[in-house]
Amino acid sequence: INLKQATADQSHLGELDDEAPDHFSPAEASLLSKIIRKGLVESKNDIEVQRKDPRSPLYSVKTFEALNLKPNLLKGVYEMGFNAPSKIQELALPALLAEPSQNLIAQAQSGTGKTAAFVLAMLSRVDATKPYPQAICLSPTYELAIQTGEAAAHMAKFCPEIELRYAVRGEQVSRGSQLTEHIIIGTPGKVLDWALKFKIFDIKKISVFVLDEADVMIDQQGHQDQCIRIHKQLSTSCQMMFFSATYSQEVMDFSEHIVKNPIIIKLKREEEILNNIGQYYVKCSSAEEKYNAITNIYGTLAIGQAIIFCHTRKAAAWLAAKMARDGHAVAVLSGELTVEQRINVLDRFRASQEKVLITTNVLSRGIDVEQVTIVVNYDLPVNLQGEADCETYLHRIGRTGRFGKKGIAINLIDSDNAMRICKDIEKHFSKKIHFLNAEDCEEIE
């Protein structure tokens, strides 16, 4: 497995408008979160389970031993530092490994162990003595496929007999050859080509089919068509596993339509995260005042690390340059960076080489840097209609206050409109956002 590929060809990036709201696609956001994540996102919330087929047994496991994994796979799991199954794994893994096999539709926020769950299921299900593909995992992008492959390679460290093959751009195959690897991890177009055009493996022999980031896959027309075409070729006994951080109603309906008798597992979102976060707003009448507010806050409170969210790349770049000129160690993460550059920025930030990370919405989802204690909304998050985007707000400020620690969120208010948005957010979550005098941040504690 060539892991270096993850940083290849980024030419499609960097063509965006500097002043436009900076947004990443869900697939890109998911990739970033995978890169920066150190460990599991622990969830205190309940799991909701729905069974279409009441005959299918349902049980949960509290240990990896209870799953009767191949010994070398269990060794791999422990080697990765996993002591016990995560919440989603508790229920998903027994269902995924049960005989006869069961179909699953699972939803849990990123970082909760979904990838590890389906990777483990694929590795458990394949018979390495049979030299042909038996499991397929489809990912929406090249980079996500590589991330999944890396997790699989890591977990299969003590199972050298299991072979993985990437079906992504740049991978060459010759017509007439036959794949001998057991697991294919790839993007839909390539897998489709290999299965139907080149016929280099027999899709009827696939016994495990994983759709990762199902919402992205099903939402994007091109991907959806390809997934359906692949799905149509699978044998009826093939086990289906759909995983996603979110499912819109349409995507869920569609999933239930194509996944027969699924067990549906949903891990509820952590709204109560707000309980751990002190929320404040600061009134500023100009960009300069916003800047001063930030330096005051930064000067007073730079205990841990801070993330500052701006609406546009231009604002992010301006702020970063100004702070850097004033001698602060800041890093910037915005959409024009290549994947390689983003990884670099995030690695440095995680290693505390910079105390402040200035970013755009790019970073709002699923990213946990444990030491982040302050999140500043230089601009409040708004949707395309200019209304309060409460979900993004929650994602942003949810970067702090993790793992039971106290976090602080500070919103810079530079107009009546911003004040109105701030009030809407306050109302939405029914959680007070306190007034803060930026000259006197001591109030915070």
The span of 17-25, 112-120, 188-196, 421-429 binding ligand ADP (CB under 6 A) equals 112-120
φ/ψ (deg, to 5) at 428: -55, -45
| Binds ligand ADP by CB under 6 A, chosen from 27, 73, 82, 203 | 82
For ligand ADP, give the closer residue by CB, 365 or 396: 365
Residue 114 touching ligand ADP (CB under 6 A): yes
| Binds ligand ADP by CB under 6 A, chosen from 29, 32, 40, 375 | 40
- In the window 50-69, what residues touch ligand ADP (CB under 6 A)? none
CB 157, min distance to ligand ADP, A = 13
Starting at the edge strand found earlier in the chain, the sheet holding 135-138 runs: 47-51, 263-267, 104-107, 239-244, 208-211, 135-138, 183-186, 164-167
In this structure, are residues 211 and 227 in contact, taking their beta carbons and an 8 Å threshold? yes
Look up residue 7 and give its two tokens: 């940083």
For ligand ADP, give the closer residue by CB, 64 or 378: 64
For ligand ADP, give the closer residue by CB, 40 or 319: 40
Residue 103 touching ligand ADP (CB under 6 A): no
Compute the distance between CA of residue 174 and CA of residue 190 in angstroms, rounded to an integer. Answer: 13
In this structure, are residues 173 and 166 in contact, taking their beta carbons and an 8 Å threshold? no
CA–CA distances in Å: residue 440 to residues 29, 326, 437: 36, 21, 5
Q: Which amino acid is at 270?
A: E
The span of 104-112, 262-270, 279-287, 338-346 binding ligand ADP (CB under 6 A) equals 104-112
φ/ψ (deg, to 5) at 149: -60, -40
For ligand ADP, give the closer residue by CB, 86 or 187: 86
Residue 319 touching ligand ADP (CB under 6 A): no
Residue 141 touching ligand ADP (CB under 6 A): no
Compute the distance between CA of residue 73 and CA of residue 77 in angstroms, rounded to an integer. Answer: 6
How many residues bind to ligand ADP according to rule CB under 6 A? 17
Cα–Cα–Cα angle for 138, 72, 239, rounded to 5 degrees: 35
Residues 6+ positions from 63 with CB-CB distance below 8 Å = 84, 85
Compute the distance between CA of residue 190 and CA of residue 179 in angstroms, rounded to an integer. Answer: 14
Q: Nearest Cα to 355, choosing from 368, 379, 371, 335?
A: 371
CA–CA distances in Å: residue 112 to residues 117, 135, 264, 353: 10, 23, 16, 27
CB 110, min distance to ligand ADP, A = 4
| Binds ligand ADP by CB under 6 A, chosen from 85, 149, 398, 401 | 85
Residue 43 touching ligand ADP (CB under 6 A): no
Residue 39 touching ligand ADP (CB under 6 A): yes
Residue 110 touching ligand ADP (CB under 6 A): yes
For ligand ADP, give the closer residue by CB, 158 or 198: 158
Residue 395 touching ligand ADP (CB under 6 A): no
Residue 113 touching ligand ADP (CB under 6 A): yes
CB 1, min distance to ligand ADP, A = 17
The span of 37-45, 134-142, 272-280, 296-304 binding ligand ADP (CB under 6 A) equals 37-45
CA-based max dimension of the chain: 73
Q: In the complex, which residues of this chain contact ligand ADP (CB under 6 A)?
A: 34, 37, 39-40, 80, 82, 85-86, 89, 108, 110-116
